[in-house]
């Protein structure tokens, strides 16, 4: 692969074109667009209601002790909005090549003389554009329904942290798409990773709850949690947006860790993908499923 | 299975054998996918775990004063776990049939299955029972594990009554399952549909909270759903030790739902099947 | 440097190993399938070359190796002078591939959107792409429906669009895997004429096409290679291949109650050179092709042998040898389809 400016531009165009194609196809399934825009509210609402049932109001004393802020409603709204990106990296980018395989177009795009990473990058790009739209809809709807209280002046910093998280998450998506291309049975793997992240990451409850709940084991669970980019990103975003939030991780450390993890996951993902592509071509099973 | 002469209808005994053989086939197929077996064994634990940890974050202790005021018990851990268990039984009956039908459409075996001279409802029932059976197995294991770890406060003496109560609710679940299976026969965006309905149920069913915290509009819809009564009834029996009157009060509407949904389900499925046969799209996905 | 050969395969070998069980318990079984068994093949520049063989003979594997989608176990191939193993990028840029099946397109995009997308993937400059797309759409007779979703197209239209997609970047070599599979006869004919006249004769593209329709290979190809069980059995022009049978004629019969005893008896007749039996039986009837000199003089005796053995004869015709007969003679097997 040549690396001069002209061919870089062509690769970039291939990536943007892939993103455009993905968004076009998505818009042709309007039912799914509506689904992804509306559904997350249905997943968030039970947590708000559970809060009302257990503490009888929108503030929890226990939350104040664990996280500095007693406003569990805003806390979970932020959590579930960012969680949308995890789902998209798993079920979008992770499954993207598998979907081409189901559709019968995988071979055709792999025969094209552009870099595989341009195609994958294009897919991740379209996923993050769509997800940002869904996350914004969700945040707005949830704020209207349940009332979110955030420090709007810090929105810029929060969005920057989210961007960093997106890069890291799509590194994971890349790793998964390689694994799925090889093992072909993605449902169980994706469901497991999805549920694991949801349980150990501070989507709905502060990180310190793990220590409260699991005792000594909690530290280890928290360490597992921090491996996923979602955790440092949530800590940073909440520190920016949630008034009086007291993060478990230092924000500067969380952000630099996130940057490092991004590099690691992206490199790992690209390496793994190259290996898997060779392996699949050797096995002769690019289109088989 | 011996086809009756002239391809006529099978007797009740033969139909029961059809249910049995479908049940067996589904179980064998299930065991051929060890990853999913493992998944079914572990995932519900993680789901209930995130609800329980969240409760702990909210209250700071295993006892909620507010829940005690609203629901006769402050032990939100047992409250939530029983809610999850009953709802997962309900889900497995509701979706079991349509998932299995969808699977047969995918694998291309639906047409040959429906060519057999037995009642479609026997086939559907076999599928429903197999998914209930696997759910019971896992729920039993999970309850044992959870009781060990969290000290579940369940009144095990009431377990037979709770199971009896579930049997009262079962026909309505099966009826809804028939209806969904019928809709799925011809509705190609199946996973969006299932996702939408189960998300809606996740909100409307009193799994991790009593219905009294829901806005009145939503509560009204909750009371239209048979699983609501099943959850509340079994929870009363298993953790609240409520009186017979209260439980009967929940059983009466269930009996009404049983009659309604079972007949509606049979009608809807039969109508949808005829429609699909006319269109010639039975095996399509 | 002028290349004499556009495609050269050197001792290509590919063995598939079946897999058993589900993830993560998947393991390779000891059962193997030899898809390609030391295949050598050269396609001249500008030639329309046919690869003819029954399903499962290894045709698709060969095309996929040439298009860099499968890596061979041994051997390699040069496409346009580029090694498929060492320079897959250059190979990809110089080939266009059409695989049977219309699924290689995005059904929820329009024809134009599909072509625009693939033009970018093939790094065709935007200006060139725009011109080329409208040229191709009108060449294929699709311009009226260019902005309709592909899911509304017929199978034949999708195949035309797939061909348009394959020649978007004006490649020198085209690899066509069963390009008319599943199309209705009149559509197949127009696609064949297009491939032969427009793509090969007019645009001078080198074309390697696979097929299991012998008529297709006979009508279209400059040269044909027979492939069976992963081996190339013969390569030559259709005329020369057919000449291999000599001046003989073929007696084609459909009979019932055929068994090995009758066949041995028939084979024993002095004037019979060879005999091919189709393995596809319908209602106990079997098609038999008998290769012999001077059918007129011997037909009575052949019929006699079959009748005496209790076979019922349903039809009987005298034919000129076709490529299928050459294939039968060389392999003892019948092409299906």
DSSP one-letter code for C170: -
The encoded tokens of residue B271 equal 């109508």
Work out the pLDDT band at B7, boundaries 50, 70, 90. very low
Per-residue model confidence (pLDDT) at position C202: 93
Kindly list the distances between the CA atom of residue B54 and the CA atoms of A126, B58, B109, B142, C193, in Å, as whole numbers in the listed order. 33, 6, 44, 19, 69
Domain that holds residue C310: 247-320
Total Cβ atoms within 10 A of residue A48: 21
Q: How far apart are CA B191 and CA A81, in angstroms?
A: 22
CA distance B32 to chain C (A): 8
What is the distance in angstroms between the Cα of B188 and the nearest Cα belonging to chain A? 12
Q: Which residue has the tokens 């909750």?
A: B222
Tokens, residue A209: 């709850």
Q: Is residue C323 very low, low, confident or very high in pLDDT (cuts 50, 70, 90)?
A: confident
Q: Are C47 and C222 in contact (CB under 8 A)?
A: yes
Helix axes A5-27, C111-121, angle to 10 degrees: 150
Tell me how close the Cα of C20 comes to any Cα of chain B, in angstroms.
11
> In angstroms, what separates the C-alpha of A17 from chain B's closest C-alpha?
27
Q: What pLDDT digit, counting tens, does each position of A62-104 carry?
A: 999 999 999 999 999 999 999 999 988 888 888 888 888 877 8
Question: How are the residues of chain A apportioned to helix, strand and coil, as percentages rounded to the nearest 5?
Answer: 80, 0, 20
Angle separating helix axes B34-59 and B12-31, nearest 10 degrees: 80
Give per-residue pLDDT as tens, B89-126: 888 888 888 887 777 777 767 777 777 777 778 888 88
Choose the final residue of a domain: C197, C221, C242. C242
Query: Do B33 and C24 make contact, defined as CB atoms within 8 angstroms?
Result: no
Residues from chain C that touch B33, judged by Cβ atoms under 8 A, are 22
Structural domains of chain A, count: 1
Bridge partners (DSSP) of residue C39 are C12
Instruction: Say if A239 falls within a structural domain.
Output: yes
- Per the structure, the count of domains in chain C is 2
- Which residues have a Cβ under 8 Å from the Cβ of B264 and sit 6 or more positions away? B175, B179
Q: What is the pLDDT of residues A242-263, one digit of tens each?
A: 998 998 889 999 999 999 988 9
Task: Return the pLDDT at B5.
Answer: 42
Torsion of CA B71, B73, B79, B80, to 10 degrees: 70
Average pLDDT score over residue span A166-181: 86
Residues C276 and C233 in one domain: no
**Closest C-chain CA to B35:** C23
What does the pLDDT look like over A112-163, one tens digit per residue?
A: 888 888 888 898 899 999 999 999 999 999 999 998 888 989 999 999 999 9
Q: Does residue A102 form part of some domain?
A: yes
CA distance C245 to C291: 8
Q: Is C25 on the interface with B (CB under 8 A)?
A: yes
Q: Report angle CA A102, C152, A15 to the nearest 5 degrees.
A: 50
Percent of chain B with pLDDT over 70: 91
Q: Where are the domains of chain B?
A: 14-279
Where is pLDDT greater, at B33 or A81? Answer: A81
Q: Which of the four pLDDT bands, split at 50, 70 and 90, describes residue A191?
A: confident
**Torsion angle of the four alpha carbons C72, C78, C79, C85, in this order, in degrees rounded to the nearest 10:** 40
Query: How far A222 CA sits from the closest chain B CA (Å)?
Result: 13
C27 touches chain B (CB under 8 A): no
Chain B: touching chains (3 or more CB pairs < 8 Å): A, C
- pLDDT score, position B2: 42
Edge-to-edge strand list for the sheet holding C249-256: C272-277, C285-292, C249-256, C313-319
Tell me which chain C residue has its CA closest to the CA of residue A8.
C123
Q: Checking DSSP bridges between strand C173-177 and strand C206-211, what pairing results, if any? A: parallel
Q: Give the pLDDT score at B192.
A: 74
The beta-carbon neighbor of A21 closest among C24, C68, C106 is C106
Gap between the Cα atoms of B82 and C228, Å rounded = 64
ipTM for the predicted complex comes to: 0.88
Chain B contact residues (CB < 8 Å to C): 32-35
User: From CA C66, how far away is CA C144, in angstroms rounded?
Assistant: 35
Instruction: Report how far residue B238's alpha carbon sits from residue B241's, in angstroms, rounded to the nearest whole number.
Output: 7
Report the interhelical angle of A217-227 vs A186-200 (nearest 10°): 120
In whole angstroms, what is the distance from residue C73 CA to residue C63 CA? 15
- Check CB contact of C18 with chain A, cutoff 8 Å: no
Residue C305 or residue B9, greater confidence: C305
Q: What is the CATH number of the domain that holds C254?
A: 3.30.70.1340
Say if residues C241 and C224 touch (Cβ distance below 8 Å): yes
Dig out the tokens for A250 from the structure. 């230092």
Tell which of C22, C26, C27, C107 to mutate to test the B interface (max B CBs under 10 Å). Answer: C22
Does residue C178 share a domain with residue C41?
A: yes
Residue C270 sits at the chain B interface (C-beta within 8 Å): no
DSSP-assigned beta bridge partners for residue C44: C5
pLDDT tier at B282 (50, 70, 90 boundaries)?
low
Cα distance between residue A190 and residue C122, in whole Å? 32
CATH code for position C52:
3.40.50.300
Using the predicted structure, report yes or no on whether residue C336 has a pLDDT greater than 70. Answer: no
Q: What angle do CA B76, B79, B82 make, to 5 degrees?
A: 145
Helix segments in A202-241, DSSP class H? 208-214, 217-227, 230-241
Name every residue whose Cβ is closer than 8 Å to that of residue B151 and which is 6 or more positions away in sequence. none
- Highest-confidence range of B228-232, B281-285, C85-89, by mean pLDDT? B228-232
Rg of chain B over Cα atoms, rounded to whole angstroms, equals 20
By C-alpha distance, which of C180, C146, C149 is closest to C163? Answer: C180
Q: Is the pLDDT of residue B147 over 90?
A: no
Chains contacting A with at least 3 CB pairs below 8 Å?
A: B, C
* Mean pLDDT of all residues in B264-282: 83
Residue C35: closest C-alpha in chain A: A284
d(C-alpha C40, C-alpha A177), whole Å: 36
User: What distance in Å separates residue B73's CA from the closest CA in chain A?
Assistant: 11
Range of the domain at A90: 48-115+146-283
Nearest CA in chain C to A279: C71
Cβ-Cβ contacts under 8 Å between A and B: the total is 119
Distance, in angstroms, between A21 CA and closest chain B CA? 21
Query: Residue C101's pLDDT band (boundaries 50, 70, 90)?
Result: low
- Which pair of tokens denotes residue C269? 């007749």
Residues contacting residue C130 through CB under 8 Å, at least 6 positions apart: none
Of the candidates A52, A71, A57, the one whose C-alpha atom is nearest the C-alpha of residue A245 is A71
Average pLDDT over residues C20-48: 78
Q: Per-residue DSSP letters for A94-156?
A: HHHHHHHHHHT-HHHHHHSSS-HHHHHHHHHHHHHHHHHHHHHHHHHHHHHHH-----GGGHH
Confidence at B188, pLDDT banded by 50, 70, 90: low
Three-class secondary structure of residue A71 per DSSP? strand
User: Distance between CA atoms of A202 and A248, rounded to whole angstroms?
Assistant: 11
- Domain-located, residue C112: yes
Asked if residue C127 and residue C219 are part of one domain, the reply reads yes
Give which of C205, C201, C220 is closest to C169, Cα–Cα: C205
Contacts of B66 in chain A (CB under 8 A): 53-56
**Domain annotation covers residue C142:** yes
Q: What is the pLDDT of residue B145?
A: 79
Q: How far apart are CA B280 and CA C255, in angstroms?
A: 37
Is A55 in Cβ contact with B64 (below 8 Å)?
A: yes
C contacts of B32 (beta carbons < 8 Å):
22
Is A281 near chain C, with CB under 8 Å?
yes
CB C89 to CB A1 under 8 A?
yes
The pair of three-digit structure tokens given for residue B237, joined into one six-digit string: 């029996």
The answer to whether residue C44 sits within a structural domain is yes
Report yes or no on A199 lying in a domain: yes
Report field, pTM of the whole predicted structure over 0.90: no
Q: Does C26 touch chain B (CB under 8 A)?
A: no
Residue A133 lies in a domain: no
């Amino acid at each position: 692969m040549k690396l001069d400016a002209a061919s870089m531009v062509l690769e970039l165009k291939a990536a943007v074109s892939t993103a455009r194609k993905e968004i076009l196809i998505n818009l042709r399934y309007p039912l799914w667009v509506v689904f992804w825009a509306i559904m997350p509210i249905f997943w968030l609402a039970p947590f708000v209601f559970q809060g009302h049932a257990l503490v009888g109001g929108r503030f929890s004393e226990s939350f104040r002790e664990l996280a500095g802020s007693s406003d569990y409603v805003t806390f979970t709204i932020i959590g579930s909005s960012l969680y949308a990106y995890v789902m998209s990296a798993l079920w979008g980018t992770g499954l993207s090549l598998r979907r081409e395989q189901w559709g019968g177009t995988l071979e055709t795009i792999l025969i094209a003389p552009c870099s595989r990473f341009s195609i994958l990058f294009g897919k991740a790009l379209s996923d993050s554009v769509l997800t940002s739209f869904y996350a914004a809809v969700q945040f707005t709807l949830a704020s209207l329904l349940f009332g979110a209280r955030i420090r709007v002046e810090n929105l810029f910093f929060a969005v920057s942290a989210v961007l960093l998280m997106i890069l890291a998450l799509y590194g994971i998506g890349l790793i998964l798409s390689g694994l799925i291309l090889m093992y072909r049975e993605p449902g169980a793997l994706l469901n497991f990773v999805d549920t694991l992240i949801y349980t150990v990451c501070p989507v709905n409850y502060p990180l310190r709850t793990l220590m409260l709940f699991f005792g000594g084991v909690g530290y280890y669970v928290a360490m597992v949690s921090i491996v996923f980019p979602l955790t440092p990103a949530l800590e940073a975003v909440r520190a920016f947006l949630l008034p009086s939030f007291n993060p478990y991780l230092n924000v500067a450390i969380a952000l630099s860790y996130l940057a490092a993890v991004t590099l690691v996951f992206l490199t790992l993902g690209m390496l793994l993908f190259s290996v898997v592509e060779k392996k699949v071509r050797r096995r002769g099973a690019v289109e088989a499923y | 299975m011996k086809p009756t002469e002239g391809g006529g209808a099978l007797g009740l005994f033969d139909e029961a054998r059809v249910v049995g053989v479908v049940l067996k086939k589904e179980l064998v197929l299930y065991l051929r996918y060890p990853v999913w077996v493992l998944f079914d064994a572990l995932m519900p634990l993680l789901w209930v775990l995130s609800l329980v940890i969240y409760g702990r974050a909210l209250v700071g202790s295993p006892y909620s004063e507010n829940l005690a005021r609203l629901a006769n018990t402050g032990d939100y851990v047992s409250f939530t776990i029983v809610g999850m268990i009953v709802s997962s039984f309900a889900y497995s009956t509701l979706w079991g049939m349509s998932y299995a039908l969808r699977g047969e459409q995918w694998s291309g075996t639906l047409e040959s299955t429906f060519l057999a001279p037995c009642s479609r409802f026997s086939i559907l029932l076999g599928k429903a029972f197999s998914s209930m059976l696997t759910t019971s197995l896992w729920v039993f294991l999970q309850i044992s594990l959870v009781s060990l770890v969290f000290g579940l406060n369940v009144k095990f003496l009431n377990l037979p009554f709770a199971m009896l109560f579930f049997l009262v609710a079962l026909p309505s679940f099966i009826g809804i399952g028939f209806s969904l299976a019928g809709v799925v026969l011809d509705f190609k965006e199946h996973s969006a549909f299932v996702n939408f309905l189960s998300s809606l149920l996740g909100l409307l069913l009193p799994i991790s909270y009593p219905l009294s915290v829901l806005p009145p509009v939503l509560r009204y819809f909750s009371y239209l759903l048979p699983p609501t009564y099943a959850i509340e009834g079994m929870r009363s029996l298993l953790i609240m030790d409520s009186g017979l009157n209260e439980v009967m009060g929940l059983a009466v509407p269930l009996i009404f739902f049983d009659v309604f949904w079972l007949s509606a389900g049979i009608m809807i499925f039969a109508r949808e099947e005829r429609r699909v046969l006319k269109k010639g799209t039975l095996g399509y996905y | 440097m002028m290349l004499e050969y556009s495609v050269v395969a050197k001792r290509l070998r590919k063995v598939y190993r079946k897999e058993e069980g589900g993830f993560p318990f998947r393991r390779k079984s000891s059962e193997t399938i030899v898809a390609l068994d030391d295949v050598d093949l050269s396609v001249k520049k500008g030639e329309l070359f046919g690869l003819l063989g029954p399903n499962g003979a290894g045709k698709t594997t060969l095309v996929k190796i040439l298009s860099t989608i499968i890596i061979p176990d041994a051997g390699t191939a040069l496409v346009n002078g580029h090694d498929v193993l060492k320079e897959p990028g250059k190979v990809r840029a110089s080939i266009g591939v059409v695989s049977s099946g219309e699924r290689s397109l995005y059904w929820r995009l329009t024809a134009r959107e599909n072509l625009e997308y693939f033009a970018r993937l093939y790094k065709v400059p935007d200006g060139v792409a725009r011109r080329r797309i409208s040229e191709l759409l009108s060449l294929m007779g699709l311009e009226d429906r260019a902005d309709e979703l592909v899911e509304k197209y017929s199978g034949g239209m999708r195949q035309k669009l797939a061909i348009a997609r394959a020649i978007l970047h004006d490649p020198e070599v085209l690899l066509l895997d069963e390009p008319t599979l599943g199309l209705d006869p009149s559509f197949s004919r127009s696609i064949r004429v297009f491939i032969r006249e427009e793509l090969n004769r007019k645009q001078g593209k080198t074309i390697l096409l696979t097929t299991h329709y012998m008529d297709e290979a006979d009508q279209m190809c400059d040269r044909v290679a027979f492939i069976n069980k992963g081996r190339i059995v013969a390569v030559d022009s259709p005329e020369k291949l057919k000449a291999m049978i000599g001046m003989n004629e073929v007696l084609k019969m459909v009979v019932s109650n055929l068994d090995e005893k009758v066949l041995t008896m028939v084979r024993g007749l002095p004037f019979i050179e060879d005999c091919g039996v189709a393995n596809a039986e319908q209602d106990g009837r079997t098609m038999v092709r008998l290769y012999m000199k001077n059918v007129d003089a011997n037909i009575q005796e052949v019929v006699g042998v079959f009748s005496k053995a209790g076979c019922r004869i349903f039809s009987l015709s005298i034919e000129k040898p076709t490529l299928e007969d050459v294939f039968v003679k060389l392999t003892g097997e019948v092409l299906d389809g």
